[in-house]
Amino acid sequence: MSDFSQLRLRSDLLGNLASLGYEAMTPIQAASLPHVLNGRDVIAQARTGSGKTAAFGLGLLDKLDVERFRIQSLVLCPTRELADQVARELRKLARAIHNIKILTLCGGQPIGPQIGSLEHGAHIIVGTPGRVGDHIRKGTLQLDHVAMLVLDEADRMLDMGFQDELDSIVGQLPASRQTLLFSATYPEQIASIAERVMHDPERIEVETSHSGQSIQQRFYPVNNDDERIEGLRLLLIKHRPDSAIVFCNTKVETETVADALRSIGFTALPLHGDLEQKARDLVLVRFANKSATVLVATDVAARGLDIDDLDAVFNFHVARDLDVHVHRIGRTGRAGSTGLAFTFFSEKERYKIDALAERTGIKIKEASLPAANQRNQTTYKPPMVTLQIDGGKKQKVRPGDILGALTGEDGVPGKAVGKINVTDTNAFVAVTRDHAKQALAKLSSGKLKGRSFRARRI
């Protein structure tokens, strides 16, 4: 069964899916949705980008009674970025359901407006465990009528230390609810939490690796970190990816590697759990806009990122867990495109490479770094530049206003404008590098919503 129309879904949901162009289900949707719609608890193991949000989203929307204005479903996510992404997808899937209210509760944002929104009620809450727990303790969030709990990227929530918070939240929910747990990996802690919070769950696992045709994996023996940095430089220069992630095993290493890449001319940004939310948001905007070539990240920080068209993945060290390695390389080569995955390993790490070969069945051949004739080539700049405008949703600034200001009289060509991201107080727009100066001048001298806003290059 691969067609959504074969499911016992509400007609308004099926009609909306057709209008969105959703026809065939992904493997995780086909395997899990029948059980979800039948009311079973489900443990589903699938990688990011597999379509899992629609798998649980259609289930909770199908059961929703919009006339009962109370919280009926709770979706917990490890990060604000993933929660925002999930909420956007749910709103898209729910377009045909009138008067539905989906509320996002995440840290890194003022709690006051969230309390005000909760006073007006909601049907679905999407949030992070920390902030949801805060509202429960303040008495501003009651979960007495929740019929479905979704734990999205549960393995990462445990990695981030949310075990106690999760247990506390689950303790506030009705025992008769349906529980869905989605996870990219299945460590022992997941089995433990599933045993405590689920009732006779259906266990589903879909293929988490890509075909050998979509991702080219290459493995490079090195002796030390200096050779790893040199290998990074040579491979970046040879393949010239617009977007690449370098995975590191520690927070300190992300900073060290990003500094080393910047010192030789690359636009590289570190991403790890110690970054403040504002700095993290800026890093992600620049990378998603293709105005930074390399994101150097820990696994915990990089999980759940909604980044399309990732050309290459680098493993600075072999991942500590083989499931994590598979998840890392799964960031590239999506949606039928091809991707590159490069792994550096020392003699001490060779046993991990052997275990990986046995686990995945792939034949691992040691590769040689690019030849000496590339060693003197220069680095390259990303194709886009990000401009920041000091005005956002609170000032009624919309993406269309920014596009109009840029492409108006004597403006830049429309094709020179990339992604536009508007937050509450700021807006970010990507423009091609050769039009950046002209675009900045247009924004600085022109007006948005009849007002002048400060604009600058970041």
Where are the domains positioned within the chain? Answer: 4-205, 215-374, 384-457
Q: What is the pLDDT of residue 6?
A: 84
Report CA-CA distances (Å) from 196 to 166, 171, 175: 11, 11, 11
Beta-strand pair 73-76/202-205? unpaired
**What is the DSSP annotation of 15-40?**
HHHHHHT--BPPHHHHHHHHHHHTT-
Query: Binning pLDDT at 50, 70 and 90, where does residue 122 land?
Result: very high
Do 27 and 17 contact (CB within 8 A), yes or no? no
Which residues, 6 or more positions from 11, have their beta carbon under 8 angstroms from its beta carbon? none
Do 62 and 94 contact (CB within 8 A), yes or no? no
CA 418 remoteness from chain centre:
19
pLDDT over 70 percentage in the chain: 92
Vertex 347: Cα angle to 345 and 353 (nearest 5): 55
pTM of the model: 0.65
d(CA 196, CA 315): 35
d(CA 316, CA 295): 12
CATH number at 215-374: 3.40.50.300
pLDDT digit string, tens, across residues 52-91:
899 999 999 999 999 999 999 999 998 887 888 899 999 9
pLDDT digit string, tens, across residues 155-175:
878 866 788 889 999 999 999
- On the question of pLDDT at 373 being above 70, the answer is no
Report CA-CA distances (Å) from 395 to 80, 104, 278, 281: 23, 21, 19, 20
d(CA 342, CA 232): 9
Specify the range with the lowest mean pLDDT, choosing from 55-59, 368-372, 400-404, 413-417: 368-372
Which residue spans within 237-281 are E strands per DSSP?
A: 244-248, 268-271
Crossing angle of helices 27-37 and 52-63, rounded to 10°: 20
Q: Do domains 4-205 and 384-457 have the same CATH topology?
A: no
Tally of CA atoms within 13 A in the half-sphere of 414 that contains its CB: 3
Query: Binning pLDDT at 50, 70 and 90, where does residue 428 land?
Result: very high
Q: What is the pLDDT of residue 75?
A: 97
Taking Cα atoms as reference points, which of 323, 320, 384 lies closest to residue 352? 320
Top CATH class, 384-457: alpha beta
d(CA 282, CA 85): 16
CATH number at 4-205: 3.40.50.300
- On the question of pLDDT at 212 being above 60, the answer is no
Cα end-to-end distance, the chain, whole Å: 48
pLDDT digit string, tens, across residues 269-281:
999 888 888 888 8
